Structure 1
């Protein structure tokens, strides 16, 4: 894959800066060294996914246990006592920072939009709609918690319990699939597939 192939991914309309990014870093992204590093990252993520869903982690989740400090922080974030607002703000900030590191779906959406041959207004509108769809569930749950806290507290507790039981397994699958896809792409770029 050459520089022109990488830059071509930017597509028509620039996909809101993707072409500028690829034009600037396309040479680096298409090097063999970058592909080898990408393969190492993908293989590392795939291997790491097996540690996330260990037998011990499943047993703790089944028992409803979370590590001490994490459990206390989590209780402050979802609690109604005084001091929960700063904990919730800390949780939101942490999740925002985590989202920066885990924005693969958004980058994939930019890639799809950029190769669809849309103009800038259509591409921008599509990405805004994508962002709204991704944020809407959190906004609805937050509004429900604020407006009708007594009504939604019980269902939210049940959802929380289910998520707590299944979080390790779901995270392991996500990390494993992302690792596999990153490694597979690198293998293809290295001519090994």
Structure 2
């Protein structure tokens, strides 16, 4: 695996680190008034890592088998045709990003005033688990939250594809998926340590993060999907130029 690929994977993991399950729910748990229960937040983050690690290995195994089955049939398809499909996919993702952003914004605008939205209901549940529930309830919260978003985390799915295509050993692939998952929770870990040491002084920062998610959730989805689409399109164009000039 080259250094450029590693940089791409780190970038994808940091994008995934700002998702609903990896950052927003931990922020809600950290906003709980009074003494923070570090054990429950730790249980939440450990569950998130284990869940994504297991899903990543399962996806990698499936992708590897899929590639092996189709390797010979796909070898007869010209490279230019593949790059054209890749470019169309990138354009499609860019268009999809605008649609998703508009859809989320319309849903927020149509919400009846005074009626708690989806994020508000999830926050209420997270705070209730932090205040009254035990570690088991926090683990269930992590599993439900990550299960709901795993199929929408395109950077994660793309990263698994990159790791599978990198022709790594089983140990290397396992280490790569583990490192990716740990990077995904790094911002939440940093915020947790800061909250334990700074106490209520970190509350304004956590509140701003929560408000940013609530205000820009549509744009965040659009930027993520659109960014991946742009990356795929640019890569396709560069490779097509190389193919036509070589």
Q: TM class by shorter-chain length?
A: 0.5 to 0.7
- Is the 2:94–2:226 contact (alpha carbons within 8 Å) kept by the matching residues of 1? yes
What residue ranges of structure 2 are gaps of 5+ in the alignment?
Answer: 1-59
Question: Cα deviations across residues 108-160 of structure 1 (Å, max 9, x unaligned)?
Answer: 55147x25xx5443443333222222233345556777x68963544322211
1:51 maps onto 2:99 in alignment: yes
Alignment length, in residue pairs? Answer: 168
2:17 aligned partner: none
What residue ranges of structure 1 are gaps of 5+ in the alignment?
Answer: 1-15
Moved more, 127-136 or 21-30: 21-30
1:96 maps onto 2:144 in alignment: no
Which secondary structure does the structure 2 equivalent of 1:129 belong to? Answer: helix
Q: TM-score, normalised by structure 2?
A: 0.45
1:22 aligned partner: 67
Which of 44, 65, 70 aligns to 2:118? It is 70
Which of 153, 159, 166 aligns to 1:106? It is 159
Q: Give me the whole-angstrom Cα distance separating, in 1, the residues matched to 2:163 and 2:204.
A: 38
Which secondary structure does the structure 1 equivalent of 2:185 belong to? Answer: helix
- Is the 1:41–1:183 contact (alpha carbons within 8 Å) kept by the matching residues of 2? yes
2:212 aligned partner: 162
Q: Give me the whole-angstrom Cα distance separating, in 1, the residues matched to 2:185 and 2:100.
A: 26
2:127 aligned partner: 79
Q: Give me the whole-angstrom Cα distance separating, in 2, the residues matched to 1:67 and 1:39.
A: 42
Q: Give me the whole-angstrom Cα distance separating, in 1, the residues matched to 2:212 and 2:160.
A: 29
1:7 aligned partner: none
Q: TM-score, normalised by structure 1?
A: 0.54
1:9 aligned partner: none
Alignment root-mean-square deviation, CA = 4.9
